[in-house]
Amino acid sequence: MDVVSSLKHAPAAQEAEPAGKSSSARVTAERKVVSPPSALSVFVTCILMALLFVFVIVGTPDRWGADLRWALRALAALTLGLLLVIHTRRRYVLPQRTSHRSTKVWGLPEYQVNVLQRTAGQAQISNTSDNAGPAQARIFASAVIYPAHVRQRLTERYDPGQRTLTQLVTIDAQLPSRDVQRLLNTADTATLPRPGIPAQRTTTGNEGFEGGRSDATDATQHPAVILFPVLVPRKGEMVDNLRVLAADGSAVPVLSYRQYLQLVAKVLRTLLDIAYGEDISNGRHPDALDAERTALQAVMRRATTTSDEPDDSEGSNALYRAGHANGRTKLANPAALKLAAQLIKKLSSHYAVVAAVPCPVDGRFVVSYERMMTPTLALAPLSEGILSWLKARARLLLGSRPVDFSISLDNAWTTQSYHLIIDCQDGVFVGVQEAQELVGYLNAHWNDRQSRLEQSFAQEKSGPLLELTTPPPYYRFRRRAGQRYAHFYTRFFPEPREKLPNGDRIPDVRFRFYEVPPGSVFRALIASTAAALLIWLIGFVTSRDPDPGTDVPAFLLVFPAVAAAWLGFDSQPRRLLEGTLAARISLLATVLCSIAASGLFMVYKAELPLLQWKVPADMQILGITSMAWSALMLLALLNASTTGYAYLARTWEFIHLSGRTDGFGGPKEHLH
């Protein structure tokens, strides 16, 4: 089956092949996965822990003596804690940890390489427009190795959800006019005669290759098609819910994994034929065929985590050695061999999601892809400080999750002009946007390029390298003005280089969004202020008359707790923002203070000999003489004051950012 003619509008989903290398599809785990304990074991353990808990609370009869009673309670509490640790470890910790162990998946059988290599040779005989000719091979290889030469503009947009991000990448590409003209001429010709090869129609020779079938197709039935790699992730990386779209929003067919391997084999054979100046399957270049086989094995090898995996450069080195074997120093086209080696080196560690895009006359087209991404939850470690460590855990416990995430600039170097847009929901504004490692990364590449440029001139070369004469990198952030979206822009972003200090790892850009006032902090402020006023009022009266003759204060003190629960914890969030940590802590403090005040009122009304202390030295705190009511009132007042401060500070920050201007004009919002 030919690569393009067999494409159908199937769901455009592509994923990395599972990890491993062997000759079967059977999956074997590297380590034994620990299964959760049985239901009977869990039931017996829970019953035993419940009995121990009751014994710790109830204790023993008084006639047993106080020493024995407390000793048995301590022993029961220790046993309960030990059982709880063991149960938690067996029921939750071990199964979760072992469930993420890496696994091995055996790779494709060895004979598949022979079938793939034979397919590439027969495709060169079947010279139809959908086979990878010189123009199509150059376009595909260049788009994989030098994506910035093809991609003129790339816009990467993220739409945050509650736990996932929807990524939409739009690529504006421009192909070289020479390759476009050759591709169009190829599509208009029924056959593509090659030197020494007669034009004819035949099958593609895919029989036996993972379910391939014969298919003879006339080239005049197909328009010119660009096999464009829209996404080149690392092997082993899953791509979730992928959709590839054309400029008009229609679905674009994507090559399956089998078709992708066929394409790589055809492109590699085409580049090798160009490099050697003839068909390498004529029997005069056995070393080239062996190198081609090694290269295809490297491409077909699936991802693995074992340390004995061959280096990614194995296939490319084999091509280089074959090109200079037997004293050969000159090739018909050394650049084609270099391009083939670079392509194999890239595809040994990565795989391409290839879309079939109709070729326009001017070579300019727009294609986009959309996928779901789940960001990794990064909790602050102790090295960042105890306060940050506690705040991170408190956010999880209280259900407070602000919009705060980092985006890697992996796509920035693949294009000349790069735009990164984070579009959040209404009710938030950009509070922080930073890239701590970005300046060091750009400086490292710029200094290295300047040093290589000076070295090339010092050696009196014919001219500087092309990559050394490109303009310097440029970037900027959209000024924060209280808007809900963030925009990062860069041009001529350098590609990461191995063994370059501070320039070998792509930096991240971090964005943090805050609530637009009033938000959840204002609701927390209302609840905490109401609780503080009610506690002060009832404490003022109760400290003078423990029994005011009514139970209304007890009901009034419950209202702030109910309001706090309704305002902060009742609604189900639909997006990533789930309320600020300050608001959740304030609401929790309001609930606790209100419930404590209601209980304290009932203690005073019943005239129980508890908590009846007076403020020392006959002092009064805001007219309250009771020590218990004074302490409770001060806590409620502190809660309301800190919440009010947080609200005013966040409101001032929003006003300050919204009132700034970038000096470029535009619309204005007026408040009078």
Size of the chain in residues: 672
Indicate if the pLDDT at residue 199 is higher than 70. Answer: no
Average per-residue pLDDT for the chain:
77
Residue labelled with tokens 């009511």: 629
* Distance from C-alpha of 139 to C-alpha of 431, rounded to nearest angstrom: 42
Question: Nearest Cα to 639, choosing from 599, 588, 598, 579?
Answer: 588
- Before 518, cis peptide (omega within 30)? yes
| pLDDT for the residue 198 | 37
How many CB atoms sit inside 10 A of residue 261's CB?
Answer: 26
* Distance from C-alpha of 539 to C-alpha of 12, rounded to nearest angstrom: 67
Q: Which two tokens stand for residue 206?
A: 């895919």
Q: Which two tokens stand for residue 453?
A: 């440029």
| pLDDT for the residue 229 | 94
Question: Nearest Cα to 548, choosing from 601, 590, 496?
Answer: 601
Least confident of 141-145, 490-494, 499-503, 666-670: 666-670
Least confident of 155-159, 336-340, 665-669: 665-669
Beta pairing class for 485-491 and 27-29:
unpaired
Asked if residue 154 lies in contact with residue 421, where contact means CB atoms within 8 angstroms, the answer is: no
Residue labelled with tokens 């002060």: 536
Tell me what the mean pLDDT of segment 228-236 comes to: 90
Question: Nearest Cα to 531, choosing from 625, 644, 637, 648?
Answer: 637
pTM of this structure: 0.76
Q: How confident is the model at residue 352 (pLDDT cuts 50, 70, 90)?
A: very high
* Distance from C-alpha of 422 to C-alpha of 407, rounded to nearest angstrom: 9
Tell me what the mean pLDDT of segment 126-130 comes to: 42
Asked if residue 637 lies in contact with residue 532, where contact means CB atoms within 8 angstroms, the answer is: yes
Indicate if the pLDDT at residue 641 is higher than 80. Answer: yes
Dihedral of alpha carbons 39, 44, 48, 51, sign: positive
* Distance from C-alpha of 123 to C-alpha of 120, rounded to nearest angstrom: 5
Indicate if the pLDDT at residue 163 is higher than 60. Answer: yes
How many CB atoms sit inside 10 A of residue 4's CB?
Answer: 24
Question: Nearest Cα to 129, choosing from 205, 186, 184?
Answer: 186
Tell me what the mean pLDDT of segment 106-134 comes to: 64
Indicate if the pLDDT at residue 233 is higher than 70. Answer: yes
| pLDDT for the residue 60 | 77
Express as a percent the part of the chain with pLDDT over 70: 75
